[in-house]
Amino acid sequence: MNTVELQGHLDIALKAMDEIHRAVTLTLDAGFDVEEKIDSSLVTTADLEGEKAFRKFIAKAYPDHGIIGEEFPPENSHSDYQWIVDPIDGTAEFARGLPTYGSIVALHYKNEPVVGVMDHPQLNIRAWAAKGLGAFKNKSKQTIQNDAKLNHQRLAVAAKENFQRLGDESKIFDQLTTKFPHVRVFHSCFSHTCALIDGVDVTVDWNVNLWDMAATKILIEEAGGKYQILKQREHPEKGTLYCTAFGKSPLVDEIAALVESAGEA
Amino acid sequence: MNTVELQGHLDIALKAMDEIHRAVTLTLDAGFDVEEKIDSSLVTTADLEGEKAFRKFIAKAYPDHGIIGEEFPPENSHSDYQWIVDPIDGTAEFARGLPTYGSIVALHYKNEPVVGVMDHPQLNIRAWAAKGLGAFKNKSKQTIQNDAKLNHQRLAVAAKENFQRLGDESKIFDQLTTKFPHVRVFHSCFSHTCALIDGVDVTVDWNVNLWDMAATKILIEEAGGKYQILKQREHPEKGTLYCTAFGKSPLVDEIAALVESAGEA
């Protein structure tokens, strides 16, 4: 895929994000309903409207491309091009009035992410990247400093509940927070953005779906950081779940070693 | 203290917060320096300028009142009226470009908080309260629902590092996150605001100073929630440190019991 083509896909991804933003804001202003799904996660009318707006926009721009989203069935599953969307990542945050939720859009080509966008409308942070074109936050190029020696290395990690979705791996959460006591626990998307923009040094996410992680690899790698899948497993209701670490390369390696030894213990 | 007097103090507190906001924003736009203090916490020129602006404003409005702040020595220590300020709570967040820091202002009269303001300029959230006048977020009255039965009770808690400041109490962090696996770890001020605005059900902060907690009691109690000091101890460098729980009353009681039994174990 050449640079012109990639830039074209990135432009579409950014415009598709604008569509989500518009639909979510309209629903937010009009008032929204919250429901609990079978897997006990939440969905609001804003999630549904956001994903519908995205699907409509992509289907018009690229009628042959596939679409995978949290709230509706996949389309064009056999295409090499798959657009992946999570209209509101952190729905529980959104539903409770916290501004730390975000929206995720990515284009995967032959299962490899080539474009990624994460947007936090209430934080005025939008991050994006495309293969070979770099990673940006609000138009400023992002570089992850892999050799930075910080006094207090900071970890962002998923909630302990994430570590209880496939057996009880709470011990890994306890060990991670002991190794990195300067810890923050945010929801997926915001913790991913933090790793990109140097808000934290490394992020560990645990037992999350494809759409939660879809933009992260390209964002982190284009900024020069390391992205590693630590575990990939099947959940009876939630489908394939991913455990990942990403950010400054030496810390990702430390965490991979910690997780491996915790598994053997 | 009558209602008119309280309203007057609240008005001054809100204007003083505007002064902090202005000074911090100016410094932010101009670029700021970060230094590490003796206790290894950070200070930026924005903290210093914010506190100076606050002190100047209060000294003009109430020349006889006391002022206690993180960055400069106390003034008028013998006054019944003590203004307490933390110009940037979450300096490490601020210094790393995260929008989740906040500013804290409170008036204590005879050691009891009577006015409190917490401001998150980049989140567009300002919360305030005064004794008998209610608690508000951006002009909307806040009420903590003590009997709300939520499917996933959510805890905000300080980082594990906070639990290591006076001996190693990491076990309490581990037990809290096991009891409330739907946990978030934010910095003080934002986690306090979350308890007020129903972003979480209960917050536990650990080994923090007077200025970190100065506005919280009045905000939570005026919203009908419960505020409890769990421990109050002296640190050789940091001075008096407080451990507190606040939010929905039954959860504060549960946490107090958990902390007590952890102390005996």
What is the ipTM score, two decimals? Answer: 0.92
Work out the percent of chain B whose per-residue pLDDT is above 90. 82
Task: Give the number of other Cβ atoms within 10 Å of residue B112's Cβ.
Answer: 10
Average pLDDT rounded to a whole number, residues B158-182? 96
Mutate to test the interface with A, among B177, B189, B197, B206 (most CBs of A within 10 A): B177
Using the Cβ of B161 and the Cβ atoms of chain A, whether some distance falls under 8 Å is answered with yes
Using a CB-CB cut-off of 8 Å, the residues of chain B touching A183 are 159-161, 185
Task: Evaluate if residue B182 carries a pLDDT over 90.
Answer: yes
CA dihedral sign of residues B52, B57, B58, B63: positive
Q: Is A169 on the interface with B (CB under 8 A)?
A: no
- Work out the number of other CB atoms within 10 angstroms of the CB of residue A145: 13
Report chain A residues whose CB lies below 8 A from the CB of B178.
Answer: 160, 170
Write the pLDDT tens digit of every residue in B121-163.
999 999 999 999 999 999 899 999 987 666 679 999 999 999 9
pLDDT surpasses 70 at A151: no
| B98 vs A40, A92, A194: nearest CB | A194
Mean per-residue pLDDT for A151-173? Answer: 93
Question: Residue B230, SS3?
Answer: strand
Distance, in Å, from the CA atom of B62 to the CA atom of B12, rounded to the nearest integer, reads 10
CA A31 to the chain's CA centroid: 26
DSSP B2-53: -HHHHHHHHHHHHHHHHHHHHHHHHHHHH---EEE-TTS-EEEHHHHHHHHH
pLDDT value of position A147: 73
Report the distance separating Cα A239 and Cα A251, nearest Å: 29
Token couple for B132: 């008998």
What is the nearest CA distance from B127 to chain A, expressed in angstroms?
Answer: 14
Strand, coil or helix: what is B89? strand
By Cβ distance, the residue of A40, A178, A186 closest to B184 is A186
Tens of pLDDT, residue by residue over B20-76, are 999 999 988 888 888 887 777 778 889 999 999 999 999 999 999 999 998 899 999
Interchain contact, A185 vs B185, CB within 8 Å: yes
| pLDDT score of A148 more than 70 | no
Residue B193 CA, chain-centre distance (Å), reads 8
CB spacing of A186 vs B181 below 8 angstroms: no
Q: Which two tokens stand for residue A32?
A: 């929204």
Calpha distance B230→A202 (Å, rounded): 32
pLDDT, averaged across chain B:
93
Cβ atoms of A76 and A108 closer than 8 Å: no
User: A-chain residues within 8 Å CB-CB of B93?
Assistant: 199
Q: Are B183 and A185 an interchain contact pair (Cβ–Cβ within 8 Å)?
A: yes
pLDDT at B151: 64
Q: Give whole-number Cα distances, B73 to B38, B70, B84, in Å.
A: 15, 8, 12
Instruction: Give the pLDDT of residue A31.
Output: 82
Contact state of B154 with A92 under an 8 Å Cβ cutoff: yes
Judged by CB atoms closer than 8 Å, whether chains meet at B151 and A98 is answered as no
pLDDT digits (tens, 9 = 90+) for A178-193: 999 999 999 889 999 9
State both tokens at A248.
């400054």
Q: Do A182 and B159 touch (CB under 8 A)?
A: yes
Q: Which residues contact A114 (CB under 8 A, 6 or more apart)?
A: A1, A6, A9, A107, A108, A130, A131, A218
Mutation target for A interface from B160, B162, B173, B189: give the one with most A CBs within 10 A.
B160
Question: Treating both helix axes as pointing N-terminal to C-terminal, what angle do B170-179 and B249-264 enclose, rounded to 10 degrees?
Answer: 140
Sheet strand arrangement including B134-137: B66-69, B81-89, B102-109, B112-120, B125-130, B134-137, B140-141
CA B183 to chain centre: 19
**Contact check, Cβ <8 Å, A178/B170:** yes
CB of A125 within 8 Å of any CB in chain B?
yes
Give pLDDT, residue A152. Answer: 76
Dihedral (CA of A52, A242, A191, A167) sign = positive
Helix intervals (H) in B108-248? 170-179, 188-196, 210-213, 216-222
The mean pLDDT value for A245-259 works out to: 96
The percentage of chain A sitting over the pLDDT mark of 90, rounded to a whole number, equals: 82
Q: Residues 222-251, chain B: which have Cβ within 8 Å of A?
A: none
A17's enclosing H/E stretch is helix A3-30
Q: Residue B215: its pLDDT value, please?
A: 98
Q: How confident is the model at residue A28 (pLDDT cuts 50, 70, 90)?
A: confident
Average pLDDT taken over every residue of chain A: 93
Closest C-alpha among A128, A92, A12, A131 to residue A60: A12
Residue that wins the pLDDT comparison between A237 and B55 = B55
- Write out chain B residues lying below 8 Å of A36, CB-based: 151
**Mean of pLDDT values over B240-255:** 96
pLDDT for B33 equals 83
Interface with A, mutate which of B125, B184, B248 (most A CBs under 10 A): B184
Global confidence as pTM: 0.94
pLDDT band at B265 (very low <50, low <70, confident <90, very high): low
| CA distances to B106, B158, B229 from B57, in Å | 14, 32, 31
Is residue A252 classed as helix, strand or coil in its secondary structure?
A: helix
Residues 6+ apart with CB under 8 A from B101: B88, B89, B90, B91, B93, B94, B120, B122, B187, B189, B190
By C-alpha distance, the chain B residue nearest A183 is: B159
Of the partner residues A159, A174, A184, the one whose CB lies closest to the CB of residue B186: A184
Contact by Cβ (8 Å): B80, B104 = no
